[in-house]
């Protein structure tokens, strides 16, 4: 059975920014895009583990603050020519509340 956990409100996450949520699986970065969608990725860049939560969000992409790899927020995949993937978690936005699929 699906287990959705309420972890934040949309207002907790700055527009074009992120918020880190600590979980037993590690730090999860919640990103809010300009169109008010929320994406969740592990807060580790697939390159050398940079904190993606401190990167710049544009479109549905975040630029890692360390070496500038672009990571697709929808898939967790690095944008070519870079190759790698950060684990993504499913999110759901309902009445201003953000849920994470545990
Ligand atoms: S650690 Fe993210 S680009 Fe190098």
Give the pairing of strands 4-9 and 97-101. antiparallel
Pairing state between β 61-63 and 17-23: unpaired
Structure tokens at 12: 């907790």
Closest C-alpha to ligand 1, atom 3: 67
Q: What homologous superfamily does CATH list for 4-101?
A: Rieske [2Fe-2S] iron-sulphur domain (2.102.10.10)
Residues 6+ apart with CB under 8 A from 29: 18, 19, 20, 21, 40, 41, 42, 43, 51, 52, 53
Model confidence over 41-68: pLDDT tens digits? 999 999 999 999 999 999 999 999 999 9
pLDDT value of position 25: 83
The reply to whether ligand 1 has any atom less than 6 angstroms from the CB of 66 is: yes
Mean pLDDT of the 25-47 span: 97
Ligand 1 centroid to residue 62 C-alpha, Å: 11
The per-residue pLDDT for 93 is: 97
User: Ligand 1 mean position to 75 CA, how many Å?
Assistant: 17
- Whole-model pTM above 0.85? yes
Peptide bond just before 81 cis, omega within 30 deg: yes
Q: Is 55 in the pocket of ligand 1 (CB under 6 A)?
A: no
């Amino acid at each position: 059975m699906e287990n959705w956990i309420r972890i934040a409100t949309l207002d907790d996450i700055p527009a074009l920014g992120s918020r880190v949520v600590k979980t037993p699986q590690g730090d999860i970065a919640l990103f809010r895009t300009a169109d008010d969608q929320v994406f969740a990725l592990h807060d580790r860049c697939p390159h050398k583990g940079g904190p993606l939560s401190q990167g710049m969000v544009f479109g549905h992409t975040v630029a890692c603050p360390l070496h500038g790899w672009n990571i697709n927020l929808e898939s967790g995949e690095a944008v070519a020519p870079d190759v790698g993937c950060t684990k993504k978690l499913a999110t759901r936005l309902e009445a201003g509340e953000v849920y994470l699929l545990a």
